[in-house]
Amino acid sequence: MSSLSFLVDSPQDAKFRAEVSTWMAENLPEDLRGWSTRPPREMIQPWHFKLYERGWIAPHWPKEYGGMEASISEQLILQEELSRAGAPILSRQALGHIGPILMHHGTDAQKKGHLPQMLSGEVMWCQGYSEPSSGSDLASLKTRGEVNGDEIVINGQKIWTTGGHFADWMYALVRTNPDAPKKQGGISMVLIDLKTPGITIRPIMTIADDEEFAEVFFDDVRVPITNLVGDLNDGWSVAKALLASERIGNANPQMALQCLDKLQRVAKATGAVNDPVFQDKVTQLELDVLAQSAVFAHAVQQAKAGMDIGAGSSFMKIVATENIQRIADLMFEAAGGHAADVEPMDTEEGPVDVSVLWREVRRITIYAGSSEIQRNITAKRVLGLP
Ligand SMILES: Cc1cc2nc3c(=O)[nH]c(=O)nc-3n(C[C@H](O)[C@H](O)[C@H](O)COP(=O)(O)OP(=O)(O)OC[C@H]3O[C@@H](n4cnc5c(N)ncnc54)[C@H](O)[C@@H]3O)c2cc1C
């Protein structure tokens, strides 16, 4: 298993690592190990409950809100041991995105009403940003949120909503002022209970043969105005903060480490591991993931200190997602004739779903803002190009 070995464990960290590793070995169910796609709610939720009961579900959350408030090294050790055990990657929508946003922008009632159930995993969340004609140009979104007394009436459609068909609640961007001089100025963020009448959710099948996301239709959906996050028409500034933290989340090395592990297993099984040219390529990838882990650790540290990573998150997202695609491409090469098999390939350390993984990772350079958009942001805001 590859490792984030730029860190040398202190005696205290070594103890924590041993504790996590033993616990994972004893508690992670066999049928949840090694998933390339997202396991369905009925499988992932019990795992969330277990991590919650153990106190390891939200290492980055402050203790004030029930989190672990873990040190950077503890957070990375948890990532590494989760990867080593082949644990599925939990949805980041609640713990990684809207939870932290509510801590900063939510009302007391929103914090009390939602944060505990995000932690416990009883309530699952999804993100309603993208629309059929508003992805990269998100600020052009059209889903209407009309204020009517103490309610907001929502009409329109969201699409590519990850886990929309498994979720209980959505945090969404809606247009509350269509006449605002700047299109960003007429958008609000709102929390929507997906059981509210007028909502239709249809799952969408992906090329990896899983139902990763859904389209969600709103037909006169009435939401209390107290579900606004931040001020009316100020949703864009809330959303921008969220997008930066989402990109940092995407630079989390857990997935890259799991892919490297699968690559090694496949290479051993086919003998590709004995080819020095192949070994050279693997070493380069390992070094790149190590560098990614170091940058990720630094960003987590900055975020913890309340610093704004801003446009740097775009560069992190590009590097992290392209690393994973490069690993998947090399695994495809190493698998030889097995690469095209729909069924997982047998290896000494268990089956590896080569083809599913390769197809699965096509999407990662699209979500949370495509690589082209991240390059535009980096060019403008980091390099100062026109
Ligand atoms: C697996 C997956 C999960 C997702 N989950 C969610 C979710 O949970 N919630 C949610 O709201 N959305 C989600 N999305 C949607 C995602 O955010 C959008 O797909 C993404 O922002 C791109 O928008 P689009 O699909 O409309 O493509 P478009 O914006 O139409 O872009 C099409 C192509 O044109 C390129 N392009 C567009 N504009 C420019 C430009 N100015 N310069 C250079 N190139 C450009 C893009 O890079 C892309 O290659 C998800 C997407 C995927 C693939």
The yes-or-no verdict on residue 21 having pLDDT over 90 is yes
Determine the distance separating the centroid of ligand 1 and the alpha carbon of 24, expressed in angstroms: 35
Q: Would you place residue 120 in the very low, low, confident or very high pLDDT band (cuts 50, 70, 90)?
A: very high
pLDDT at 225: 98
Percentage of the chain surpassing pLDDT 90? 72
- Whether the Cβ atoms of residue 124 and residue 163 lie closer than 8 Å to each other: yes
Rounded CA separation 168/362 (Å): 27
The yes-or-no verdict on residue 254 having pLDDT over 90 is no
The domains found in the chain, sorted by start residue, are 11-90 (1.10.540.10), 125-233 (2.40.110.10), 251-382 (1.20.140.10)
164 lines ligand 1 (CB under 6 A): no
Query: Using one digit for the tens of pLDDT, what is the confidence trace for 210-223?
Result: 888 999 999 999 99
pLDDT at 349: 87
Cα angle, residue 214 at apex, residues 296 and 100 outer, rounded to 5°? 35
- Whether the Cβ atoms of residue 364 and residue 304 lie closer than 8 Å to each other: no
Rounded CA separation 254/35 (Å): 13
φ, ψ dihedrals at 134, nearest 5°:
-135, 90
Determine the distance separating the centroid of ligand 1 and the alpha carbon of 78, expressed in angstroms: 31
Written in H, E and C, the secondary structure of the chain is: CCCCCCCCCCHHHHHHHHHHHHHHHHHCCHHHCCCCCCCCHHHHHHHHHHHHHHCCCCCCCCHHHCCCCCCHHHHHHHHHHHHHHCCCCCCCHHHHHHHHHHHHHCCHHHHHHHHHHHHHCCCCEEEECCECCECCCHHHCCCEEEEECCEEEEEEEEEEEECCCCCCEEEEEEECCCCCCCHHHHEEEEEEECCCCCEEEEEECCCCCCCCEEEEEEEEEEEEHHHEECCCCCHHHHHHHHHHHHHHHHCCCHHHHHHHHHHHHHHHHHCHHHCHHHHHHHHHHHHHHHHHHHHHHHHHHHHHCCCCCCCHHHHHHHHHHHHHHHHHHHHHHHHHHHHHCCCCECCCCCCECHHHHHHHCCHHHCCCCCHHHHHHHHHHHHCCCC
The pair of structure tokens assigned to 378 is: 């980096």
Instruction: Give 45's Cβ-side CA count (13 Å radius).
Output: 14
Q: Relative to the CA of 366, which ligand 1 atom is closest?
A: 53
Residue 224 β-bridge partners: 151
Sequence-separated (6 or more) residues with CB below 8 Å from residue 287: none
Work out the average pLDDT over 367-376: 93
Sequence-separated (6 or more) residues with CB below 8 Å from residue 49: 120, 121
Q: Would you place residue 371 in the very low, low, confident or very high pLDDT band (cuts 50, 70, 90)?
A: very high
pLDDT at 6: 57
The yes-or-no verdict on residue 251 having pLDDT over 90 is no
Q: Would you place residue 343 in the very low, low, confident or very high pLDDT band (cuts 50, 70, 90)?
A: confident
Work out the average pLDDT over 166-184: 97
Residue nearest atom 37 in ligand 1 by C-alpha distance: 136
Determine the distance separating the centroid of ligand 1 and the alpha carbon of 207, expressed in angstroms: 16
Determine the distance separating the centroid of ligand 1 and the alpha carbon of 3, expressed in angstroms: 32
Range in 72-86, 137-151, 237-251 with the lowest mean pLDDT: 237-251
246 catalytic? Reply is: yes
Rounded CA separation 176/112 (Å): 26
Work out the average pLDDT over 10-25: 94
129 lines ligand 1 (CB under 6 A): yes
The yes-or-no verdict on residue 3 having pLDDT over 60 is no
365 lines ligand 1 (CB under 6 A): no
pLDDT at 16: 95
Rounded CA separation 45/50 (Å): 9
pTM for the whole thing? 0.91
pLDDT at 296: 86
Q: Relative to the CA of 93, which ligand 1 atom is closest?
A: 8
pLDDT at 63: 94
213 lines ligand 1 (CB under 6 A): yes
278 lines ligand 1 (CB under 6 A): no
Q: Would you place residue 243 in the very low, low, confident or very high pLDDT band (cuts 50, 70, 90)?
A: confident
Mean confidence (pLDDT) of the chain: 92
Relative to beta strand 125-128, strand 169-175 is parallel
Q: Would you place residue 5 in the very low, low, confident or very high pLDDT band (cuts 50, 70, 90)?
A: low
**Cα-based distances in Å from 219 to 47, 109, 143, 200, 222:** 34, 27, 10, 8, 9
Query: Using one digit for the tens of pLDDT, what is the confidence trace for 55-107?
Result: 999 998 999 999 999 887 888 888 888 988 889 988 889 999 999 999 999 99
The yes-or-no verdict on residue 242 having pLDDT over 90 is no
Kindly name the residue from 80, 246, 286, 360 that is annotated as catalytic. Answer: 246
Burial of 349 (0-12, 13-18, 19+ CB in 10 A): middle
The yes-or-no verdict on residue 234 having pLDDT over 80 is yes
Query: Using one digit for the tens of pLDDT, what is the confidence trace for 345-358?
Result: 999 988 999 999 99
372 lines ligand 1 (CB under 6 A): yes
Rounded CA separation 53/51 (Å): 5
More confident residue, 181 or 242: 181
Residue nearest atom 26 in ligand 1 by C-alpha distance: 135
Determine the distance separating the centroid of ligand 1 and the alpha carbon of 158, expressed in angstroms: 13
347 lines ligand 1 (CB under 6 A): no
376 lines ligand 1 (CB under 6 A): yes
Burial of 113 (0-12, 13-18, 19+ CB in 10 A): middle
127 lines ligand 1 (CB under 6 A): yes
- Whether the Cβ atoms of residue 99 and residue 115 lie closer than 8 Å to each other: yes
Work out the average pLDDT over 297-301: 83
Determine the distance separating the centroid of ligand 1 and the alpha carbon of 318, expressed in angstroms: 14
Please tell me the total number of residues recorded for the chain in this structure.
386
Residue nearest atom 2 in ligand 1 by C-alpha distance: 367
Q: Relative to the CA of 136, which ligand 1 atom is closest?
A: 29
